[in-house]
């Protein structure tokens, strides 16, 4: 087991703990512990790659409440039945489940509601033009935290797979797994 590394910045001001799982804690002179950030947040939507051909990816900001951010940091997100749609010139995500925050009070958020996605205007116009084509949709692919510790969502421009395409995906995945087992 790795031991935490302790760094003293100034004798009277702050000490910083660096723990092995990339958590950083700050301890001030009153020995109060405050967690600064956790960089290991990435939640993927694996079913999207199974049900759709992903033709393009876009990174968007996500409008969230405080308790929603805390819940996402705990990893309590589900992409089941979630999709994106346009309302006027704004892109929204519907059906994204973010569990209620366990330490929340009466001001806790609603688990499933529509959330606004933040994209550049030219990206929104481009996506809106492509969506008008038959068979195109926008699906969420993953939620992650960027280098500035802001939650982002990656959405993909997708086209639905037919049943035989899904069988081909399964066959390819099983063949790759067999090759890995045989070689390694």
Tokens of 19: 């723990």
Which pLDDT value is given to residue 140?
Answer: 95
Edge-first strand order for the sheet with 5-8 is: 5-8, 14-18, 23-28, 33-38
pLDDT value at residue 16: 43
Q: Domain 42-161 has what CATH class? A: mainly beta
The secondary structure of residue 22, as a DSSP letter, is S
Model pLDDT, residue 17: 43
Q: CA 4 → CA 9, 13, 16, 23, 117, distances in Å?
A: 16, 20, 10, 10, 38
Question: Is the entire prediction scored with pTM above 0.75?
Answer: no
Residues of the chain with pLDDT below 50 are 1-20, 25-36
Q: Where are the domains of the chain?
A: 5-38, 42-161
Tokens 């799982």, residue located: 21
**pLDDT for residue 1:** 42
pLDDT at position 161: 84
Which pLDDT value is given to residue 133? 78
Tens-place pLDDT, residues 97-113:
999 888 887 888 888 88
CB 26 within 8 A of CB 34: yes
Query: CA dist 5 to 17, 37, 53, Å?
Result: 6, 16, 45
């Amino acid at each position: 087991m790795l031991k935490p590394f302790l760094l003293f910045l100034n004798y009277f001001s702050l000490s910083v703990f660096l723990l092995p799982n990339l958590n950083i804690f700050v301890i001030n002179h009153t020995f109060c512990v405050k967690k600064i950030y956790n960089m290991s947040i990435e939640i993927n939507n694996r079913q999207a790659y199974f049900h759709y051909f992903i033709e393009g990816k876009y990174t968007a900001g996500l409008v969230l409440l405080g308790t929603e951010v805390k819940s996402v940091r705990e990893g309590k997100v589900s992409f089941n039945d979630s999709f994106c749609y346009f309302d006027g010139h704004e892109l929204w995500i519907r059906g994204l489940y973010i569990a209620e925050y366990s330490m929340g009070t009466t001001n806790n958020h609603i688990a499933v509601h529509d959330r606004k996605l933040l994209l550049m205007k030219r990206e929104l116009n481009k996506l809106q033009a492509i969506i008008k084509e038959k068979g195109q949709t926008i699906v969420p692919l993953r939620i992650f935290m960027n280098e500035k510790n802001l939650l982002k969502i990656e959405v993909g421009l997708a086209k639905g797979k037919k049943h035989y395409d899904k069988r081909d995906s399964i066959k390819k995945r099983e063949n790759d797994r067999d090759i890995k087992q045989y070689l390694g």
